[in-house]
Amino acid sequence: MSTINVLKNKSIESIPYFKVVGISSGVNKNNKEDLCLIYSKKPCIAAGTFTTNKVKAAPVLLNLKHIKSENIYAIVANSGNANACTGDDGYEKAYMMAECTAKHLNIKPEEVLVASTGVIGVPLPIDKVIFGIDKAFSKKESNAEAAMKAIMTTDTVQKTICIELMLNGKSVKIAAIAKGSGMIHPNMATMLSFILTDANITKDMLNKALKESVKDSYNMISVDRDTSTNDMALVLANGSANNTLISEENSDYKIFKKALHYVNVEISKMMASDGEGATKLIEAKVFNAPSSKTAKIAAKSVITSSLVKAAMFGSDANWGRIICALGYSGADIDPSKVDISFSNADSKVETCLKGAGLNFDEEAAKKILDGEHVVIEVDLNDGEFNATAWGCDLTYDYVKINGSYRS
Amino acid sequence: MSTINVLKNKSIESIPYFKVVGISSGVNKNNKEDLCLIYSKKPCIAAGTFTTNKVKAAPVLLNLKHIKSENIYAIVANSGNANACTGDDGYEKAYMMAECTAKHLNIKPEEVLVASTGVIGVPLPIDKVIFGIDKAFSKKESNAEAAMKAIMTTDTVQKTICIELMLNGKSVKIAAIAKGSGMIHPNMATMLSFILTDANITKDMLNKALKESVKDSYNMISVDRDTSTNDMALVLANGSANNTLISEENSDYKIFKKALHYVNVEISKMMASDGEGATKLIEAKVFNAPSSKTAKIAAKSVITSSLVKAAMFGSDANWGRIICALGYSGADIDPSKVDISFSNADSKVETCLKGAGLNFDEEAAKKILDGEHVVIEVDLNDGEFNATAWGCDLTYDYVKINGSYRS
Does A402 touch chain B if contact means CB atoms closer than 8 Å? yes
Nearest-5° angle of CA A14, CA A20, CA A25? 155
Average pLDDT, chain B: 91
What pLDDT sits at residue A224? Answer: 58
- Testing the interface with A: which of B227, B328, B378 to mutate, by most A Cβ within 10 A? B328
- Testing the interface with A: which of B154, B191, B222, B324 to mutate, by most A Cβ within 10 A? B324
pLDDT tens-digit map of A249-304: 999 999 999 999 999 999 999 988 887 788 999 999 999 999 999 999 999 999 98
Q: Which residues of chain A lie closer than 8 angstroms to B85, CB-CB?
A: 320, 323, 335, 352, 355-357
Could you list the residues of A known to form a binding site for substrate, using ranges. 153, 179, 190, 276, 402, 407
The Cα A312–Cα A235 span in angstroms is 34
What pLDDT sits at residue B389? Answer: 92
Alpha-carbon dihedral B7, B9, B14, B18, rounded to 10 degrees: 140
Inter-chain residue contact B328 with A226, CB threshold 8 Å: yes
Q: Is B190 a catalytic residue?
A: yes
Closest CA to B85 of B229, B233, B231, B232: B229
What pLDDT sits at residue A243? Answer: 97
What pLDDT sits at residue A189? Answer: 43
| CB A233 within 8 Å of CB A214 | yes
What pLDDT sits at residue A406? Answer: 55
| CB B199 within 8 Å of CB B256 | yes
pLDDT tens-digit map of A211-262: 999 989 988 887 655 667 888 999 999 999 999 999 999 999 999 999 999 9
DSSP state of A57: -
The Cα A293–Cα A284 span in angstroms is 15
The Cα B241–Cα B199 span in angstroms is 6
Mean pLDDT, rounded, for B120-126: 92
Confidence band (pLDDT; 50, 70, 90) for B186?
A: very low
The full length of chain B comes to: 407
* DSSP β-bridge partners for residue A178: A159, A193
Does B324 touch chain A if contact means CB atoms closer than 8 Å? yes
Q: Which residues does B173 contact at the CB level (< 8 Å), separation at least 6?
A: B7, B14, B15, B16, B162, B163, B164, B165, B197, B198, B241
DSSP state of A316: -
What pLDDT sits at residue B342? Answer: 97
Q: Which residues of chain A lie closer than 8 angstroms to B120, CB-CB?
A: 318, 320-321, 323-324
- Run of H or E including A283: strand A281-289
Q: Which residues does B16 contact at the CB level (< 8 Å), separation at least 6?
A: B173, B198, B238, B240, B241
Cβ atoms within 10 Å of B166's Cβ, excluding its own: 16
Closest CA to A113 of A102, A126, A123, A98: A98
Q: For residue B187, is pLDDT > 60?
A: no
Please tell me which residue of chain B has the smallest CA distance to A323: B55
Q: For residue A12, is pLDDT > 80?
A: yes
**Burial class of residue B251 in the structure, from the number of CB atoms within 10 Å of its CB (0-12 exposed, 13-18 middle, 19+ buried):** exposed
Which region among A101-105, B191-195, B220-224, B330-334 has the lowest average model confidence (pLDDT)? Answer: B220-224
The Cα B349–Cα B370 span in angstroms is 13
Select the more confidently predicted residue: A401 or A365: A365
> Which amino acid is present at A198?
D
Confidence band (pLDDT; 50, 70, 90) for B405?
A: low
Mean pLDDT, rounded, for B375-387: 97
What pLDDT sits at residue B175? Answer: 97
Domains of chain A: 5-273 (3.60.70.12), 281-403 (3.10.20.340)
- Testing the interface with B: which of A319, A321, A378 to mutate, by most B Cβ within 10 A? A321
Which region among A169-173, A177-181, A302-306, B172-176 has the lowest average model confidence (pLDDT)? Answer: A177-181
Of A318, A325, A336, the CB nearest to B405: A318
pLDDT tens-digit map of A353-367: 999 989 999 999 999
Q: Hey, is A160 helix, strand or coil?
A: strand
Catalytic residue among B101, B117, B160, B190: B190
Q: How far is the alpha carbon of A403 from chain B, nearest alpha carbon, in Å?
A: 4
Q: Which residues does B284 contact at the CB level (< 8 Å), separation at least 6?
A: B299, B300, B302, B303, B375, B376, B378, B388, B389, B390, B391
Q: For residue B238, is pLDDT > 70?
A: yes
Task: Give rounded-to-5 percent helix, strand, coil for chain A.
Answer: 35, 30, 35
Q: How far is the alpha carbon of B398 from chain A, nearest alpha carbon, in Å?
A: 8
**Burial class of residue A248 in the structure, from the number of CB atoms within 10 Å of its CB (0-12 exposed, 13-18 middle, 19+ buried):** exposed
Residue B235 — φ and ψ, nearest 5°?
-120, 130
Confidence band (pLDDT; 50, 70, 90) for B157?
A: confident
| CB B355 within 8 Å of CB B323 | yes
What pLDDT sits at residue B226? Answer: 61
Inter-chain residue contact A406 with B316, CB threshold 8 Å: yes
Residues of A acting as catalytic residues: 190
- Run of H or E including A203: helix A203-215
pLDDT tens-digit map of A28-75: 888 899 999 999 999 999 999 998 888 899 999 999 999 999 999 999
Which region among A32-41, B129-138, B236-245, B323-332 has the lowest average model confidence (pLDDT)? Answer: B323-332
Q: Packing angle between helix A58-66 and helix A87-105, nearest 10 degrees?
A: 50
DSSP state of A187: S
Select the more confidently predicted residue: A85 or B67: B67
Dump strand ranges (E) for A305-368: 339-343, 348-353, 356-357
Q: For residue A21, is pLDDT > 60?
A: yes
> Which amino acid is present at B131?
F
What pLDDT sits at residue B223? Answer: 61
The Cα B226–Cα B398 span in angstroms is 13
Q: For residue A306, is pLDDT > 70?
A: yes
Mean pLDDT, rounded, for B42-47: 97
What pLDDT sits at residue B201? Answer: 98
Does B6 touch chain A if contact means CB atoms closer than 8 Å? no
The Cα B153–Cα B355 span in angstroms is 42
| CB B245 within 8 Å of CB B202 | yes
Q: Which residues of chain A lie closer than 8 angstroms to B180, CB-CB?
A: none
Give the dihedral sign, CA A234/A239/A241/A247.
positive
> Which amino acid is present at A128?
K
| CB A2 within 8 Å of CB A46 | no
Does B403 touch chain A if contact means CB atoms closer than 8 Å? yes
What pLDDT sits at residue A379? Answer: 98
